[in-house]
Amino acid sequence: MANPLTSDVLVDPVVLTRALVDIESVSLDEKVIADCVEEVLRQAPHLSVDRHQNTVMARTGLGREQRVVLAGHLDTVPLNDNFPSTVVDDLIYGCGTADMKSGVALALHLAATLPDPRYDLTFLFYEAEEIESRFNGLNLVAKHRPEWLAADFAVLLEPTYGVVEAGCQGTMRAVVRTRGRRAHTARAWRGVNAIHAAGAVLRRLEDYRARTVTIDGCTYREGLSAVRISGGVAGNVVPDVCSVEVNLRFAPDRTPEQALAHLHEVFDGLDLEVTDSAPGALPGLDAAPARDFLAAVGAEPAAKLGWTDVSRFAALGIPALNYGPGDPQLAHAPDEHVEIGKIRDGAATLHRWLAAY
Amino acid sequence: MANPLTSDVLVDPVVLTRALVDIESVSLDEKVIADCVEEVLRQAPHLSVDRHQNTVMARTGLGREQRVVLAGHLDTVPLNDNFPSTVVDDLIYGCGTADMKSGVALALHLAATLPDPRYDLTFLFYEAEEIESRFNGLNLVAKHRPEWLAADFAVLLEPTYGVVEAGCQGTMRAVVRTRGRRAHTARAWRGVNAIHAAGAVLRRLEDYRARTVTIDGCTYREGLSAVRISGGVAGNVVPDVCSVEVNLRFAPDRTPEQALAHLHEVFDGLDLEVTDSAPGALPGLDAAPARDFLAAVGAEPAAKLGWTDVSRFAALGIPALNYGPGDPQLAHAPDEHVEIGKIRDGAATLHRWLAAY
């Protein structure tokens, strides 16, 4: 296959978005798109390029005081009758248009066309963000090529619909178990019903008042939700176990340890087991490149409520935020699309920020 | 195979119990045992014998004023390393010893050895009690040979450990559903959590105070238990449905319709769907043969709390009770066994009652 990412395509982030969307790259099938991206990056004399599996890194070495990472994942969720792309008026439809090939296009366009940026730049085009963490390209880079991530600031081009979403909330899942004693339901009083006992768990969830926390002007709204409940042995048996799985979304002023202590407080006296956890990320908007970036965008940042790879940078001490042209509500939707105007706006903003040297 | 139920065996209910246990007869595999039983019944000149599938009926036609049914099922639950029988001191171990070949042995012993009983007798040895109702031999007889069930009183020789258990409670299963609206847990406030809403269901179950009802000296203790709960979409989704399955055990002074009205009262305002229901049976201890039977036993009756085939007789207007040598707690247990003394006591009691003509 001839590489569709020709120099004519690279100069226009809208055309480039379509070209990227039209290279199928469902998670774990990113070889072709990574090959195409690597090839065009190697043609740019101002970049040094390296690769780990299907994650491609390119960076300048201009001796600037500050280094900024621009990162985006190359994979998409499975196709859903939305491949290849189509255009209707101002909208490009197709799998990955919003999440996040329009963002990848912005980074790749900059990499190819801005040889003399204000900061040294590191571009990361990574694999397998949409699936389990152990496949995640950024995760693998942190493990096997940590030197690629050295930077003062990072922008993840995930869909935010042109808004700066700073930091991200942490997430913790835990199972709260109630126990009882089995008995035949015809002699229910001989048993202890674990499902009835779970009423106490649900009551605490109903009564829970979530915190709202403002950090660096970003407002994080926490939440504690039951996401699964199960219990029962047979239609004539008083059940001896009931499990309620809860998901706490916590503002980035809490560490996972503090979040766990909070859960233990909420479910005091109950058996609680953490099954899954990821730290949040503070917005970190006082680094100089971050302040410059916000000035270039010219709008207030908002809190990122979901969990994103931003948190992986935060874990390395690198302030990071999300900024991309796609609408996050459309991610993974069959009618996923991106507005051409948003791509142009994004490209102009990044250019304004990075070309000002 | 030679029929092991020889006349030497039939005269001794203990030996007969072992012989019946040693004919394997897991539900739907009752042909051999039914053949053996039918053959020995046909040898008794005072009995007329008929058969439907693997259910065998034998009855006297002595022109007595009253007719009594003695019934027992021939099948067992699956073997569980407890076949064939073994004897340790006063105990016969093996699959079906308690539930209910010792009871069947009492009836078959009487059928073979009591040609001139006080009442006309109908013996029913039926198939498939341990599995779904549509296979149940008594159910099939009620449908296809209802005339076999004509009687003034019935004794089911199910295990009661020598106690008279009268009537039985009804049972009703229903699913109570709460509904909400899905949302991402990072924006939980946009959704409505159906599992949190199920707290109201569990609260009513916790607060429920079950009735205790005494009828004909038998005390029935009702109960309402959650037997299953389920809800949840994914670890990051506020769930939109939660289902709580409940089981009401109700005293036989309520009809199923009244039981349903009661459930609607308890779960007022909540979505409720009945999935399964069986009526109870009043003890019906004032029929003459019942009074005589209680006198022969010489002990107070107790309420049957579980549901048994007694209810099928009650549905036909025939007072019925449970009385058998096995311990109901041992039914379906791998170490199922029956006390030889209880078999001898049972045989003596039934003989005292029925031979008194």
* Residue range B205-257, pLDDT digits in tens: 999 999 999 998 889 999 999 999 999 988 888 999 999 999 999 999 999 99
Please indicate if any CB of chain A lies within 8 Å of the CB of B186: yes
Interface of B with A in 327-356 (CB under 8 A): none
The full DSSP string for A248-283 is: EEE-TTS-HHHHHHHHHHHTTTSEEEEEEEE--B--
Judge whether residue B100 has pLDDT over 90: yes
- By CB neighbour count within 10 A (0-12 exposed, 13-18 middle, 19+ buried), where does B86 fall? middle
- In this prediction, residues A345-351 reach a mean pLDDT of 96
pLDDT band per the 50, 70, 90 thresholds, residue A284: confident
Task: Classify residue B321 as exposed, middle or buried by CB count within 10 Å of its CB (0-12, 13-18, 19+).
Answer: buried
Mean of all residue pLDDT scores within chain A: 94
Does B188 contact A236 at a Cβ distance shorter than 8 Å?
Answer: no
Residue the block writes with tokens 């979403």: A165
Mutation site, A171, A222, A227, A237, interface B, largest B CB count within 10 A: A227
- Give B137 or B301, the one with higher predicted confidence: B137
β-pairing, B120-126 vs B67-73, is parallel
Q: For residue B283, what pLDDT is reported?
A: 84
CB A141 within 8 A of CB A149: yes
The amino acid that residue B259 corresponds to is A
Helix (H) or strand (E) holding A154: strand A153-156
Chain A residues with CB-CB distance to B175 below 8 A: none
Min Cα–Cα distance to chain B from A189, Å: 8
- Give the whole-angstrom CA distance, residue A311 versus residue A321: 9
The Cβ of residue B156 has, within 10 Å, a number of other Cβ atoms equal to: 30
- Mind telling me how many Å the CA of A167 is from chain B's nearest CA? 14
Name the residue with higher pLDDT: A157 or B184.
Answer: A157
Beta bridge partners of residue B122, listed in sequence order: B59, B69
Using a CB–CB cutoff of 8 Å, tell me whether B196 touches chain A. yes
Q: Which of A30, A38, A99, A129 is catalytic?
A: A129
- Do residues B245 and B271 touch, judged by C-beta distance below 8 A? no
DSSP at A133: G
Which of B210, B228, B237 is opposite residue A227, by nearest beta carbon? B237
What pLDDT score does B235 carry? 87
Q: What pLDDT score does A143 carry?
A: 94
Give backbone dihedrals phi and psi of B213, rounded to 5 degrees, phi first.
-125, 135
Query: B63 and chain A: CB distance < 8 Å anywhere?
Result: no
Q: Residue B193: left (phi > 0), alpha (psi -120 to 50), or beta?
A: beta
pLDDT tens digits for B34-69? Answer: 999 999 999 999 999 999 999 999 999 999 999 999
Residue A224 pLDDT greater than 90, yes or no: yes
pLDDT of res. A9 = 98
**β-pairing verdict for A120-126 and A67-73:** parallel
d(CA A94, CA A84): 6
Do B125 and B74 contact (CB within 8 A), yes or no? yes
> Which among A203, A228, A305 is the nearest to B199, CB-wise?
A203
CA nearest neighbour of A70 among A17, A111, A13, A20: A111
Give chain A positions within 8 Å (CB) of B224: 188
User: Are B202 and A205 a contacting pair at CB < 8 A?
Assistant: no
pLDDT at A1: 74
B40 and B112 in contact (C-beta within 8 Å)? yes
- Identify the pLDDT of residue A287: 81
Q: What is the pLDDT of residues A298-337, one digit of tens each?
A: 988 888 877 888 888 888 889 889 999 999 888 888 899 9
Q: Enter the DSSP assignment of A115.
A: S
- Rounded Cα–Cα distance for residues B247 and A199 (Å): 17
Q: Answer for the pair B160, B103: CB distance below 8 angstroms, yes or no.
A: no
Candidates A203, A225, A311, partner chain B, best to mutate (most B CBs within 10 A): A225
- Of residues B353 and A190, more confidently modeled: B353
Query: Do A155 and A320 form a contact (C-beta atoms < 8 A)?
Result: yes
> Would you state the pLDDT for residue A356?
67
CB contact under 8 A, B185 and A235: no
- On whether any CB of chain A is under 8 Å from the CB of B228, the answer is yes
Once rounded to an integer, what is the mean pLDDT over residues A148-164? 95
Residue A219, chain B, CB below 8 Å: the answer is: no
- The answer to whether the CB of B311 falls within 8 A of the CB of B278 is yes
Q: What is the mean pLDDT of residues A57-74?
A: 97
pLDDT surpasses 80 at B356: no
- Give tens-digit pLDDT for B269-324: 999 999 989 888 888 888 889 999 999 999 888 888 778 888 888 888 898 899 99
pLDDT > 90? residue B187: no
**Complex ipTM:** 0.74
- Count of CB contacts below 8 A, A vs B? 152
Task: Tell me whether residues B244 and A195 touch, CB distance under 8 A.
Answer: yes
Dihedral sign, Cα of residue A109, residue A112, residue A113, residue A118:
positive
d(CA A325, CA A345): 8
C-alpha separations of A190 from A149, A237, B208, B219, B223 in Å: 61, 11, 16, 16, 11
pLDDT at B357: 60
Distance CA B329, CA B326 (A): 9
Q: How far is B107 from chain A (nearest CA, A)?
A: 27
The verdict on whether omega for the bond into residue B172 sits within 30 degrees of 0, i.e. cis, is no
pLDDT score at A254: 95
Selecting from A232, A233, A249 the residue whose C-beta is nearest the C-beta of B185 gives A249
Q: Give the pLDDT mean for B18-38.
A: 98
A286: annotated active-site residue = no
CB-based contacts of A232: which residues, under 8 Å, 6+ apart?
A195, A239, B226, B227, B228, B229, B230, B245
Shortest Cα–Cα distance, B310 to chain A (Å) = 15
> What tokens were used for A291?
């302040």
What's the pLDDT score for residue B37? 98
Confidence grade of residue A3 (pLDDT, cut at 50, 70, 90): very high
Please give the Cα distance from A90 to A98 (Å, whole number).
Answer: 14
Residue numbers of B between 234 and 253 with CB closer than 8 Å to A: 234-239, 242, 244-245, 247, 249
Cα gap A61→B212, rounded to integer Å: 85
Q: Is the pLDDT of residue A341 over 90?
A: yes
SS3 string of chain B? CCCCCCHHHHCCHHHHHHHHHCCCCECCCCHHHHHHHHHHHHCCCCCEEEEECCEEEEECCCCCCCEEEEEEECCECCCCCCCCCEEECCEEECCCHHHHHHHHHHHHHHHHHCCCCCCEEEEEEECCCCCCHHHCHHHHHHHHCHHHHCCCEEEECCCCCCCCEECECEEEEEEEEEECECEEHHHHHHCECHHHHCHHHHHHHHHCCCCEEEECCEEEECEEEEEEEEEECCCCEECCEEEEEEEEEECCCCCHHHHHHHHHHHCCCCEEEEEEEECCECCCCCCHHHHHHHHHHCCCCEECCCCCCHHHHHHCCCCEEECCCCCHHHCCCCCCEEEHHHHHHHHHHHHHHHCCC
Q: Across the interface, do A235 and B229 touch by the CB < 8 Å criterion?
A: no
Q: Cis bond leading into A84, ω under 30°?
A: yes
Question: CB distance from A131 to chain B under 8 Å?
Answer: no
Backbone phi, psi, residue B90, to 5°: -90, 10
pLDDT score for B224:
98
- Give how far A296 is from chain B: nearest CA, Å: 28
pTM of the model: 0.75
The yes-or-no answer on residue A129 being catalytic is yes
- Please determine, for residue A14, whether its predicted confidence score (pLDDT) is greater than 90: yes
Minimum-distance CB partner of B236 among A203, A237, A247: A247
The tens digit of pLDDT for each residue in A77-98 reads 899 899 999 999 999 999 999 9
